[in-house]
Structure 1
Amino acid sequence: MSPDTTPVLDVRSLSLEFPVFGGSVRALNGVSLRVMPGEIVGIVGESGSGKSVTAMAALRLLPPGAYRVTEGSLRLGGDDVLAAPEPLVRQWRGRRAAMIFQEPMTALNPTQRVGEQMSGVLRVHRRISRSDALTQAQSLLRDMMIPDPAQVLRAYPFELSGGMRQRVMVAMAFSCDPDLLIADEPTTALDVTVQRQVLQLLRHHARERGTAILFITHDMAVVSQLCDRVYVMYAGTVVEQGPTRQVLRDPRHPYTRGLLEGLPEGAPPGADLAAIPGQVPDMRHPPTGCPFFDRCTYADDVCRQRPALLPLDAAAPAGNEAPDRRRLACWHPLAPSDAIEGRT
């Protein structure tokens, strides 16, 4: 595989569990996904679907000893993340892959000024002087459309608004020009106007620098604005994947359609929003068949067997590895005529 076609992130059949008293919680069950250079890829699903666990596993940020990988592989630019020694993985974080978390107040150190934190990251990975690091930090903040970057560098995180703190996190993530940026619900706590600004900054700087992004969210509307491709996750499993425009305009999995029907954009004025009935299954006792079985109106006896994630085009070979191919894990795919019209 040539460098141009080597995935920045390549997750293959990854199964992961958390040991608990009397058993274990199966958080991921055979998850496969790829992010190619320069792509913006989304993972979407309800809380508990395994989105954040996938992101944390990619940078080995889960607490050591608190989880077990029972199957599969995880590669960062061709390097085996699961087998790499911890000192090497620490070098990769920030330089090769960076992460933006949902709440910057928990990610930023409240006892250090913003300038100290940003310059510290630059000095660790670039081996430059403190003054040069502060100069670069100020330039990064200016790129984030912050009016007075010098003042922000002197501030403590608690002195900044939520939107400003998130811009600082975005600047830190791009500071060492990583190949991959993982953003875990980075706009959830922001109002709609600031959310849009942050998304625009992410998209612009990713395109400008050639950085790939793995964007974790529960918000289909955000996915439609930002992502080239999307993976829909449910109960630790990828149930549908493909180009964002195709998946949102023509959802074939009942779960994907349920998520889209819950968007306010699709509801008549004054009408109640649609909701998927039931709850995510208890992953201490994962279902043997389709994980969506108990909540699906199309389910029948065949759904008690687990469906494979296969190309939607029946004529395509099952082993086709093209990352942009539509795939579906469902015994009863929705017909195109059942698709929701007008989704983008």
Structure 2
Amino acid sequence: MKAASIVEFVRDTYKTDEFIPLHAPTFNGNEKEYVLETIESTFVSSVGKFVDDFERKIEVYTGTAKAVATVNGTAALHTALYMAGVQRGDLVITQALTFVATCNALYHMGADPIFVDVSPLSLGLCPKAVEEYLDEFAVLTEQGCTHKQTGQRIKAVVPMHTFGHPVELNELVAVCAKWQLSLVEDAAESLGSFYKGKHTGTIGEFGAVSFNGNKIITTGGGGMVLCRTQELGLRTKHVTTTAKVPHPYEFFHDEPGFNYRMPNLNAALGCAQMEVLEGYLSKKRHLAMLYQDLFNNTDFQFIVEPDYACSNYWLNAVMCPDEQTRDEVLAVTNKAGVMTRPIWQLMSRLPMFENALRGDLTHSEFIEKHLVNLPSTPI
């Protein structure tokens, strides 16, 4: 298959000769009505009915005990890690094949990543690779899971559901239980994805979702912490709202907190987007099947959901036969006004994380050199 054939297919599918973005927001519901209502109410900041409504809608949809809205996905992940007990000087196992926000949240907590390989099945953190790393480099001590060489506590495991494809969560839960580790799901890309019938972000102790402009639904900027229990959720809400103790007029804060509250204006947009989420998911699944048909019987491999999962197909992706072909596809498509992107450079290659601890990254390195993301806006 030639790169030009991909351009032709995408243009035929989207029925336009204009520039085709990778993933654009879609507004065809009550977005204008709800945002205007917010403006007219004057409650455009952190207080207003839409924040509560949006949290409830996410709780009902995902089945989480408590959802807490935040200003963006990175803030949600930072909060989730904080609530899971990650502290300065701790180590956290995660994948090198991820968006930089995963590691930025760790960096700003003063924690250090341990990079472990991903599974070719899910493109996310591989449970077997995590267990092998721990068997070789970790030991259980009085302080918990401890790295043999550095003496640092290994506190948590953070898988990222890459492009919305759920990782093998049951296996990760078992590894975490064995090694006394907290499981925090980076579910930034996976709203609408289910692992064996359970929504991503609800199986670990905490999950973090993003509503950035390029996600499956958007609040402009925004995120959500999914909490496993009501008790954890109420404390998370308290921490993200500057830890202010309720009072008719006094300002008293009982612990250090974050000002991570989602504005009501953004939540209004989110409420309208949630009303059409199921339609988006259906359209995205249809688009993914069209891509799958395109690449059948070629030397390209379209990335499909694992057989244990139902993915939202947030970003469609294809594995090219070699690095040269990948580069050709990227060059030809982008020159033709069809936006495609390579997967992220491995976190272990970035200057701020190049000295981090790591295991074998064979699969991550292969995917980095072969994968291309394709236009994925629902149509």
State the TM bucket, normalised to the shorter chain.
under 0.3
User: What TM-score does the superposition give when structure 1 sets the normalisation length?
Assistant: 0.25
- Which structure has the highest strand share of the two? 1
Which protein has greater RCO, CA pairs closer than 8 Å, 6+ apart?
Answer: 2
